[in-house]
Structure 1
Amino acid sequence: MQWLWAIIVGFVLGLIARAILPGKQHQPLWLTTLFGIAGALLGNAVSRWIGVEETKGIDWIRHLLQLAGAVLVVGVGDMVYGAVRGRRRQMT
């Protein structure tokens, strides 16, 4: 069941990250979901590193770090996806 939540959270975080980033992102939704999952994992790792992974109540700091991680991964991932996709079009 945790994998289902990871997909849902990754999808939502990926979409929010795409909305935050300026301009248009060109990666498909499945890749946005994977980038969102990676961003959530990055945010969890940073929250564990700074010691705020588990708090009483809602973990706002952890959630903000997950969103920041998703924005970072979606932004970098879009650049990489565009570069790879651009090279493929030139080769064909």
Structure 2
Amino acid sequence: MEIIGVIVAGIIIGLLGKFVAPGDKDNIPIWLTILCGIGGVIIGWFVYTAFGGDGSNGVDWVRWIVAIACAAVLVVIASTVTGRSRGGRSLHR
């Protein structure tokens, strides 16, 4: 059941990460955004616990903010690595 929760959270976090990422990051496909969100959730939880986060009663907002920040970084990396651009640059010699 936890895997389904991570996937659902990953979809939401991935879209939020894409929204808060600097610049124009609309050039990556939605499936890659979702993967970045899932990775952001997992990496964010590890980073949160590595810096002493132990959870709290109710919604732990700090953990979710860290997950969104990690997803935003992953979206930026994915956008840079995929290298898609909207402008048509030709390679004429």
TM-score, scaled to structure 1: 0.80
SS class of match (1:23): coil
What CA distance in whole angstroms lies between the structure 1 residues aligned with 2:49 and 2:10?
19
4+ runs deviating over 2 angstroms: none
**Structure 1 residues 8 and 41: alpha-carbon distance in aligned structure 2, compared to 1, 3 A threshold:** same
**Displacement of 1:66:** 0.5
What CA distance in whole angstroms lies between the structure 2 residues aligned with 1:24 and 1:50?
29
User: Structure 2: which 5+ runs fail to align?
Assistant: 85-90
Query: What is the number of equivalent residue pairs in this alignment?
Result: 84
What CA distance in whole angstroms lies between the structure 2 residues aligned with 1:44 and 1:68?
11
Deviations 1:49-75 (A, max 9, x none): 111141222211111100110111111
Instruction: Kindly indicate whether residue 40 of structure 2 is the aligned counterpart of residue 42 of structure 1.
Output: no
Residue 53 of structure 1 contacts residue 62 of structure 1 at CA under 8 Å; is this kept in 2?
Answer: no
Instruction: Kindly indicate whether residue 8 of structure 2 is the aligned counterpart of residue 8 of structure 1.
Output: yes
User: Structure 1: which 5+ runs fail to align?
Assistant: 84-89
Q: Which stretch of the first structure deviates more once superposed, 29-38 or 15-24?
A: 15-24
- Which structure has the larger Rg over C-alpha atoms? 2
Partner of 1:20 in structure 2?
Answer: 20
**1:29 partner letter:** I
SS class of match (1:44): helix
**1:34 partner letter:** L
Q: Which has the higher helix share?
A: 1
**2:66 partner letter:** L
SS class of match (1:25): coil
Partner of 1:59 in structure 2?
Answer: 60
**2:47 partner letter:** V
Root-mean-square deviation (CA, aligned residues, Å) is 1.7
